[in-house]
Amino acid sequence: MQIDELRDFCMEKKGVTEHFPFDKVTLVFKVMGKMFALVGLDSWEQGVQKINLKCDPEWAEELRGEHEGVNSGWHMNKRLWNTVTVNDSDVSDTLLIKLINHSYDLVVEGLTKKLREALNHSSK
């Protein structure tokens, strides 16, 4: 998956915005102000294509055991976040999409009732 495809996929989700809160190269996707995906654009352009995604802790451990391309989240809570290598790994685009959707859904589930209601009534 190319970076523009990944960006488009994330941005098509309801309530998603993109930000650079840490520096000029770390693209962060948020739903209703809460992070669900982070991408280092500088390393991506250099061929090291990775994305940090939130994950259910039990599934995160399982994924790490099954896929060399899934590791504990770099600079993140290792229990709740995975760093997924996109290129030259055993992570297919199908699995990557599933993991992005899972991360988004987890964050939405954790939103307050008020924020979930606002999300449900938003146009995108």
Structural domain boundaries in the chain: 3-118
Encode pLDDT of 79-115 as tens digits. Answer: 899 999 998 899 999 999 999 999 999 999 999 999 9
- Residue 28: beta bridge partners? 19, 38
**How high is the pLDDT of residue 79?**
81
- CA angle (45, 19, 113) in 5-degree steps: 135
Encode pLDDT of 28-72 as tens digits. Answer: 999 999 999 999 999 999 999 999 999 999 999 999 999 999 999
Checking if the pLDDT of 124 tops 70, the result is no
Spatial distance between the Cα atoms of 59 and 109, rounded to a whole number of angstroms = 16
Cβ atoms of 88 and 42 within 8 Å: the answer is: no
Checking if the pLDDT of 74 tops 80, the result is no
In the numeric block, which tokens belong to residue 112?
């307050």
**How high is the pLDDT of residue 56?**
95
**CATH number among 1.10.8.80, 1.20.80.10, 3.90.1150.30, 3.40.50.300, domain 3-118:** 3.90.1150.30
**How high is the pLDDT of residue 76?**
81
Averaged pLDDT, 10-19: 96
- CA angle (56, 58, 59) in 5-degree steps: 65
